[in-house]
Structures are given as C-alpha cells and as structure tokens.
Structure 1
Amino acid sequence: MPFSHNLPHYIRSYPSYSSNLGRIAKLISKKYNYLSVIDIGANIGDSVAIIKTEIDLPILCIEGNKRFFELCQKNTSSISNVSLENVYIGNKTETTSLKTKNVGGTSHIYKDNTMNTVSEINMKTLTDVLKEHPLYLKSKLIKIDTDGFDGIILRGAIDYISATKPIIFFEYDPFFLSKQNDDGISIFAMLRSLGYKVALIYDNYGFYMLSTYLTNLHLLEDLHNYISDRGGKYYYDICVFHSEDEDLYNNIRQSEIQFFKTH
C-alpha cells in the first residue's frame, strides 16, 4: 500500500476496524449458499482480505483509480475466486472530465469548475459492468465505498437492485455526498421504494451503533445532521436489508450485539 495509506493506523487503534463486513458476509452465506460479493471501491483489496478471512466467496473488485487498482491486483494475485475491473461506477456509461484527488489511502473524483488538473474518466453503470462478469449478476451482497459517489452508484444500479434485492453495505458521508450535489438523505426514500426495510448502522471505526427501520425518518435525519459539516472526518457504514431478508437482519443484529459485548 502507499506509505500515506491510513489503514495501518486505523487497525492499530481499532483492531476490529471494518471486520464487520467479513462477519456479515459469513452470516449471509448461511442463508444464500452460493453467495458472491460485489466490491465497488475495492481500493487496495483490503475488503477482499477481510471477507476471505471469514469465508471463501467469489468477489468482484471494482476500482477506478489506476494506482489503487494495480495494488489491488498485486494484493489479490494469490487469492482464488477474485475478479477485477478497473473502472469507475456511475449512473450512466460515459467518458467525462473530472478532477481526482488522493488523500490518506482514498481517492475522490469530483467536478472542478476551474477545469484545472482534470482527467478523462471512464465510467460505467453497474449493469454494464455485470454484463462482462455474469457470475455476479445475482450477487446478494454489494459493498460500496466511494467517498461521496455512493448515492449516485445506488441510483444508477436500480435495475440490479430491483431484480436481485442484495444486502447493501455502503458508506454514508454527507460531506462528500454534498460534493456530488447529493443531499444523501433521499437515498433512503429510494431504498424504501425498492422494498428495503431495515438497517444496521456503524460508525467510521466499525463499531456497531444501532439498528432502525427505514421508515424512522426522524432518526435518519438526526443521524444525517450529526455528521454533517464535519469535513469528512466522520461517516457511517450502513447495511440495509430488503423486507425479504428481515430474518437475516435479525440474526446479524443479534450476532453483532454479542460480538461487541466481548470485543
């Protein structure tokens, strides 16, 4: 990884950092025997390592940043059942001019009105990428960590989400969402319209905070406002479940409560 990457510091201070994704994947696999995972914003392949530590599943790593993609290739080269795609995911397939910025092991892309230091970025919808990776067309777990593009990606993947009803584990950061002119909070209305019912919410260190129904608008607004205007220093990881998987949500919730009682 780059020397500037923050991952070692997080893990040193918070040993369970991001381990929730692995535990969740393992429990989902008990209901869905042929589980595969889509990892959007795969970075250097750290989520692959976390998941594979818990259970061996096919994982599609999608990373747009060329530097991180090459590291992801190296870090996963000896791991079985990993597919790779070097492309940014958006709400339409196009080539567009955006500014890129790498800070502390993450990569941001955004529009720059001055149009200085911009790059030609290839973007695809998730639907178009999955045409090239048919093994993952019915993936029941999707992880999204794209520093503000998460809402755009979810809205651009409505066809896939409607058909497959995956468990969705995504980053929620009002600061970076606002950089994409995304209010953030409206993503919950979209998820409700697609049949999503409940959510587990973690802080940015991976600690389980609470669970809620997506109809609890006041709570969602309070959570949104609490980390707004924090400059991207605080965010949530949110795991949402379709109404068809409320049983799975209940099992994972109880398991996470028990995990944090002993860790």
Structure 2
Amino acid sequence: MQNSINYWLHFVYYQVLYSSYDTQFNRLKANILTKIFYKIIKFSDPLISYKIAGFDLLLPFSHQLPFILKTYPLYSSNLARLAKYVKQKYEDLKFIDIGANIGDSIAILRKEAEFPILCIEGDDQFLSVLEKNATLFSEVYIIKAYLGECSNNIRGTTIKQGGTAHLRENKVGDNIIEVKKLSNVLKDYPSFFQSKMIKVDTDGFDCKILRGAADFLKSTKPIIFFEYDPFFLAKQGDDGISIFNDLSSYGYKNLLIYDNFGDLMLSANISNSSLLEELHLYFSGRLGHRYCDICAFHTEDNDLFEIAREREIKFFENLRGRKEANNAYSL
C-alpha cells in the first residue's frame, strides 16, 4: 500500500515538474495534475526523493528546489565552486552551513570537494529531513538552532513557503523561540571555530547572524557566502547596507556578487559604497523574488579572491561560449 502511495506521489510530482504544454491534451493533463499537486500540499506534505548533484535526497512535496534547478541549473553551484577554491588553499577546510534546510548544499558541496560540514537548522520539518539526508555523507554534523545578533528569546513564528523558512518576530503571542549567537552553538563543536568558510541563508536574518558572529569573523577570518535580500532584511528591521561597513571593520575587503540564480554579476571592493548602495536599490522592492548572493573575502585572502574571480569569469565565459556554439549549430 505504502509503495503504491509513494509511486503516485512521485508520479504527480514529476509529471508537474516536467509538464509539457505543447498540445491541448498536454495542457489539459498538466492543469489537472497541477490541481492535484496543490491539493496534496494543502492536506499533507509527504516526502519524495529527487536527485541533486548525483545524490538521491529526500525533500518535502512542497519543496520548490527541483523546479528552480530545472529552470536555473546553475543555482547554488557557485557555492560549491567557491568552496573548491577555498579547499585548494586551506587543505584542512571546515565548512559551516547556517540555514542548512534539507541538506541540498551538502550534496552540491560534496560534488566538488570533501571536507567536514556543520549544518545549523532551526525548523523542525527541515531538520528531520536534513537528518535523514545527512546519513548519505560522512563528516556531517547537525545542530538544531536559530541564530541571530544576540542570544535571547523572541516571540515569533516560522514562515514557510516553497521550501524556504524564516522567522517573523511578533510582539504578542505565546510562541517563544530561542535565538543564539554562532559562537554559543559552536561550543559543542569546538573544531569548527577554525572553519574557513561559512554559508548563511536565512531569508532576512543573514546580516544579524553575521553581526552576532563578529568575534568569530574577526578571529578566524572565514570566506563568507551570504544571501542579501533587502525585502526580507527590511522585514527584520535591518537596513542591510550597514553590513558592508561592519564587514569592512572586521577586515573584509573584496566581494564576488551573484544573482540569486547563480550567475556572476560583478566583483567589488567593499569600500565602494556608491556601487553597494546601487546594488541595494536594484534589489529593493523585488518582494524576495530577486536578490543576490555575496561572497566576502578577508584582506588576508586577497590572493584567494583574485584566483576565485579569475576562475569564475573563465567558467562563465566558457559556459556562454558553449551556449553560443549550440545556438549556432541549431541554426
């Protein structure tokens, strides 16, 4: 019975994922299956399996990652390439994944290089899936926690949509959520105090988490890969733009900036306030649909920044060259 249910769940999910609208029949089929898809989400959120970076991961039925990867196959691949560059300089690399979700970043990272990963996730649903997926990999450690600028308790709720989750603070209500600083949760995993790369993806708490990790950033000077979304930052009462002055005061100098689909936009010096203000304005008012991912390098890693910049430019030049060749061939 359970196998039959799993079969039909996967059938509906994959049919919707790879729907074709080229004929009237296919459009009708796609519309019917899409209605069934959302009915399933409304009443339940069962787990299905999907191959990410060559690994069969479990994910909630409502998770949109496969749909994103179908349209934007480079999504999150930049994180893995950058981690590979870091690993080449720091052979004993340890990686901290804040907002680990279901563990898709583990799979993407492990496709490129092998190193210990500490995953931090606060949402119960994503945490339970993360724990299952983590069994596929060695040297993966998991902490259940919400991180912030300081260690305290807040009144709030977790808002989830399409495979992402973020905290929303409420001034009233009985739901108390414990928020911790990064250094506090690392006490149980002291070897990760030496992590030379961290990823932060928390839909609006990203800058607060980095400010709360100031002591760690100043002492360890890791490469930082973080989401920068003015829409979600504003919802947390964060101006966002001040994080660049903060990072500069910690010794960070150079940035690689990508759009949220993994395409390299530009590199920048963190002191270029005019450019960063324009970047902030460009992504403001996008309602979370458009944002950027930023990789920040400490002054001590200027050499690594130059290597990463050169290799990323070359990667995208080659990619576009192949696309142009394919287009020319098809003509």
| TM-score, normalised by the number of residues in structure 1 | 0.97
Shift of 1:241: 0.3
2:277 to 212, 215, 221: 221
> Which entry has the higher C-alpha Rg, 1 or 2?
2
After superposition, what is the alpha-carbon deviation per residue over 1:163-219, rounded to whole angstroms, capped at 9, x for unaligned? Answer: 000000000000000011100000000011111100000001000110000111110
In the alignment, which of 36, 49, 55 is matched to residue 107 of structure 2? Answer: 49
Distance across 2 between alignment mates of 1:253 and 1:9: 29
Which amino acid counterpart does residue 196 of structure 1 have in structure 2?
A: Y
Structure number with higher relative contact order (C-alpha < 8 Å, ≥ 6 residues apart): 1
1:4 counterpart residue number: 62
Which letter maps to 1:159?
D
Deviations 1:90-122 (A, max 9, x none): 122223221211101001111134x35x63212
| Matched-pair contact (CA < 8 Å) for 2:146–2:178 | yes
C-alpha RMSD over aligned residues: 1.0
TM-score (norm 2): 0.77
Separation (CA, whole Å) in 2 of partners of 1:106 and 1:198? 28
The 1-side partners of 2:84 and 2:120 are apart by: 21
Residue of structure 2 in register with 1:175 after alignment: 231
Q: Which amino acid aligns with 1:201?
A: I
Residue 260 (1) aligns with residue 316 (2): yes
Structure 2 Cα separation of the partners of residues 183 and 235 of structure 1: 15
Instruction: Point out where structure 1 has 5 or more consecutive residues left out of the alignment.
Output: none
Distance 1:218 1:99 in 2: 36
Q: Note if 1:105 corresponds to 2:150.
A: no
Identity of aligned residues (%): 52
Count of residue correspondences: 261
Please tell me the residue identity of whatever aligns with 1:229.
G
| Residue identity in the other structure for 1:53 | K
Task: Identify, as 1 or 2, the structure richer in helix.
Answer: 2
Distance 1:259 1:6 in 2: 26
Superposition pairs of residues 53-64 of structure 1, within 5 angstroms: 53-64=111-122
Counterpart Cα distance in 2 of 1:128 and 1:101: 25
Kept after mapping to 1: 8 A contact 2:253/2:271: yes
Identify which of 116, 124, 128 aligns with 1:70. Answer: 128
How far did 1:33 drift? 1.1
The one of 78, 93, 96 equivalent to 1:38 is 96
The answer on 1:13 being equivalent to 2:52 is no
3-state SS, counterpart of residue 82 of structure 2: helix
Alpha-carbon distance between aligned partners in 1 of 2:181 and 2:231, rounded to the nearest angstrom = 23
Equivalent position amino acid for 1:245 in 2: D
User: 1:100·1:119 contact (CA, 8 Å) conserved in 2?
Assistant: no
Contact 2:98 2:201 survives alignment (8 Å): yes
